[in-house]
């Protein structure tokens, strides 16, 4: 990124030094203050983006893994329903087979449990039937005349009715418990089957959702991850994460970034002249709509912090020039444009107790004067109070003796501006 040119300050410093060296006596390098037209601006680069966009998510259930197999080129125009990307999911195929195996195992386990419960119920039913028969016989002979029967026959044929009644109750309780326990065990197996069936359905859905299609016509743009890298063929991705977007080309804006040290005078509402990189003939004038309140890094490999800003573009200009999201743009942010103002180079400014000060030639000496600054640019700053026409501001004190060298050719409001950055453009 080349946000600001430093050619103008270097040329100014060189001119002042040469001016000082041409005299017979060496002295401090000064600049004579002169009010005049002033324009402070800064050049910055950025990217064209959409204010609104339809996100395109990696298809599939949440957190299922995908591998990108094919996609259309970044920046391509796509129609509604057109295939945008195709994925593969090798792990999902294995998961689907495992889910089907679990379903078969569950079915076999339920059949075995059902047979076991039926066998247990059958045994209890046989015992209960036998007890009921014995109880009927015992009750029939309970009131018979025992004197007519032999004692052995009586003991063999007749059992205690009270004992048989208790035994019948126990068997009936056992039968009921067996039914309840069997129903509970079958319910557990049915719940497991429902879980396996849902798992199979999800895995089948994962395999069915391996294609991403455009929901509407637009320009396909890939979305970079937190490291700034965009998806590539073979990349592993997770379902539900943003893969790309379809920007709304009717509402575009340019997003600019400027190093924090050069962004002191930026504010919303300042004029911006924008054109695509390398196409100054496609120039559009707009204004900053938003300036970030804090700076941040834009790359892991670059510790420099940048201040972001945005400027909207009218739809008519976008259609006329055929601009699309993702284009690199160059802009000039005009921080100040005044018909008459006073400015000084930033190298002449110092700070003490929170106040800005400049060194001014007063008679034969140098005095410090407090000034009130307006807009501060990367190379020059506007002075609202503290200086008047004709004041001589010290830029560099290299005096050994004699009179100071005066930079008559570099007034405060008319510095040279070969690069068009932070300069007075009036004569």
User: CB atoms < 10 A from the CB of 49, how many?
Assistant: 18
Give the CATH number of domain 58-87+210-247.
Answer: 2.40.50.100
- Which residues lie below 8 Å from residue 124, measured CB to CB, with a gap of 6+? 171, 174, 175, 178
pLDDT at 256: 94
Nearest to 230 by CA among 97, 73, 112: 73
Q: How far is CA 128 from the centre of its chain?
A: 72
What fold is seen in the domain 7-52+248-407?
Elongation Factor Tu (Ef-tu); domain 3 (2.40.30)
1: Cβ contacts below 8 Å, ≥ 6 apart:
45, 257
Q: What is the pLDDT of residue 420?
A: 41
pLDDT mean values, one per 10 residues, the chain (427 residues): 40 42 61 91 91 89 83 89 90 82 88 81 77 73 59 56 73 76 83 87 81 88 85 90 88 91 88 94 94 87 90 91 90 91 91 89 87 88 90 73 43 40 39
pLDDT score for 148: 57
Query: CA-CA distance, 353 to 355, in Å (whole number)?
Result: 6
Residue closest to 333 by CA, chosen among 375, 279, 281, 278: 375
Q: What 3-state class would DSSP assign to 162?
A: helix
| C-alpha–C-alpha distance, residues 168 and 386, integer Å | 115
Residue 422 to residue 261: CA distance in whole angstroms: 14
Return the closest-CA partner of residue 395 out of 412, 375, 420: 412
Same fold, 7-52+248-407 and 58-87+210-247: no
Domain ranges of the chain: 7-52+248-407, 58-87+210-247, 93-208
3-state secondary structure of 116: helix
H helices present in 87-160, as ranges: 90-141, 151-157
By the 8 A CB rule, do 43 and 5 touch? yes
* Orientation of helix 90-141 relative to helix 161-208, angle to 10°: 170
Give CA–CA dist 98/296, Å, rounded: 47
């Amino acid at each position: 990124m080349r946000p600001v040119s430093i050619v103008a300050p270097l040329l100014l410093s060189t001119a002042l030094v040469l001016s000082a060296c041409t005299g017979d006596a060496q002295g401090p390098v000064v600049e004579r203050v002169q009010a005049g037209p002033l324009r402070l601006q800064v050049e910055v680069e950025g990217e064209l983006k959409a204010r609104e966009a339809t996100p395109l998510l990696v298809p599939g259930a949440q957190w299922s893994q995908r591998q990108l197999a094919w996609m259309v080129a970044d920046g391509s125009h796509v129609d509604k329903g057109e295939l945008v990307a195709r994925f593969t999911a090798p792990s999902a195929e294995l998961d689907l087979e495992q889910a089907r195996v679990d379903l078969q195992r569950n079915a076999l386990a339920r059949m075995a449990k059902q047979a076991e419960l039926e066998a247990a119920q059958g045994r209890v039913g046989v015992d209960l039937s036998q007890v009921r028969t014995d109880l009927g016989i015992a009750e029939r002979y309970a009131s018979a005349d025992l004197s007519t029967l032999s004692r052995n026959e009586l003991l063999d044929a007749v059992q205690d009715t009270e004992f048989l009644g208790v035994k019948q109750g126990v068997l009936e309780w056992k039968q009921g418990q067996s039914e309840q326990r069997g129903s509970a065990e079958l319910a557990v197996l049915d719940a497991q089957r429902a879980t396996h069936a849902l798992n199979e359905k999800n895995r089948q859905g994962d395999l069915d959702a391996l294609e991403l299609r455009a929901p509407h016509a637009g320009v396909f743009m890939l979305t970079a991850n937190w490291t700034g890298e965009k998806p590539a063929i073979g990349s592993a991705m997770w379902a539900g994460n943003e893969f790309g977007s379809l920007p709304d080309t009717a509402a575009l804006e340019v997003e600019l970034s400027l190093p924090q040290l050069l962004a002191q005078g930026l504010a919303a509402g300042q004029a911006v002249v924008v054109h695509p990189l390398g196409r100054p003939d496609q120039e559009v004038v707009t204004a900053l709509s938003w300036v970030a309140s804090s700076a941040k890094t834009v790359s892991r490999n670059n510790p420099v912090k940048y201040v972001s800003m945005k400027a909207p573009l009218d739809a008519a200009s976008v259609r006329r020039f055929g601009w699309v999201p993702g284009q690199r743009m160059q802009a000039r942010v005009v921080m100040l444009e005044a018909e008459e103002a006073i400015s000084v180079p930033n190298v002449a400014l110092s700070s003490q107790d929170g106040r800005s000060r400049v060194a001014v030639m007063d008679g034969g000496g140098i005095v410090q004067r407090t000034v009130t600054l307006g807009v501060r640019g990367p190379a020059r700053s506007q002075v609202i109070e503290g200086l008047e026409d004709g004041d001589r501001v010290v830029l560099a004190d290299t005096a050994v003796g004699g009179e100071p060298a005066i930079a008559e050719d570099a007034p405060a409001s008319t510095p040279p501006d070969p690069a068009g950055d932070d300069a007075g453009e009036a004569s």
